[in-house]
């Protein structure tokens, strides 16, 4: 049982925060049908996300942790939705 973890409504998890930053920067998009986050492979958008992370990390996170969270999300997502048929031309 996890008794020590407090629920904070504003920022869910570093990962959730990173995803919202990546979305705000336009580095990722969400599948409209399935909700999977997809990498848009836009280096400028990624740069913007890293900039946001290092200038404005979430409360309780260091800049390093914020940047690491962004990198973590980018490493863990693909550029396609796993539930969408992969028959794009
Ligand atoms: Zn999908």
Ligand 1 geometric centre to CA of 38 (Å): 9
Asked whether residue 46 is domain-assigned, the answer is yes
Place of tokens 């490493």: 75
Encode pLDDT of 71-88 as tens digits. Answer: 999 999 999 998 998 765
Collapse the DSSP code of 29 into the 3-class scheme (helix H, G, I; strand E, B; otherwise coil) and give the result: strand
Ligand 1 geometric centre to CA of 62 (Å): 33
Collapse the DSSP code of 87 into the 3-class scheme (helix H, G, I; strand E, B; otherwise coil) and give the result: coil
Encode pLDDT of 39-51 as tens digits. Answer: 999 999 999 999 9
Asked whether residue 87 is domain-assigned, the answer is no
| pLDDT above 70 (res 16) | yes
Count structural domains, the chain.
1
Asked whether residue 86 is domain-assigned, the answer is no
Asked whether residue 6 is domain-assigned, the answer is no
Asked whether residue 34 is domain-assigned, the answer is yes
Asked whether residue 41 is domain-assigned, the answer is yes
Asked whether residue 36 is domain-assigned, the answer is yes
Of all residues in the chain, what percent carry a pLDDT higher than 70?
82
Report whether 74 contacts 27 (CB < 8 A). yes
Ligand 1 geometric centre to CA of 85 (Å): 8
Ligand 1 geometric centre to CA of 56 (Å): 31
Ligand 1 geometric centre to CA of 32 (Å): 7
pTM for this model (two decimals):
0.79
Asked whether residue 88 is domain-assigned, the answer is no
Q: What angle do CA 17, 77, 41 make, to 5 degrees?
A: 95
Domain that holds residue 33: 14-76
Ligand 1 geometric centre to CA of 45 (Å): 21
Taking residues 27-47, what's their average pLDDT? 94
Taking residues 19-32, what's their average pLDDT? 94
| pLDDT above 90 (res 12) | no
């Amino acid at each position: 049982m996890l008794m020590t973890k407090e629920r904070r409504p504003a920022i869910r998890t570093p990962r959730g925060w990173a995803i919202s930053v990546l979305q705000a920067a336009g580095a990722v998009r969400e599948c409209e049908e399935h909700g999977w986050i997809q990498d848009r492979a836009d280096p400028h958008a990624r740069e913007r996300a890293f900039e946001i992370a290092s200038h404005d990390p979430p409360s309780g996170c260091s800049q390093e942790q914020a940047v690491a969270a962004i990198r973590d999300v980018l490493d863990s997502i693909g550029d396609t939705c796993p539930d969408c048929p992969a028959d794009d031309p």
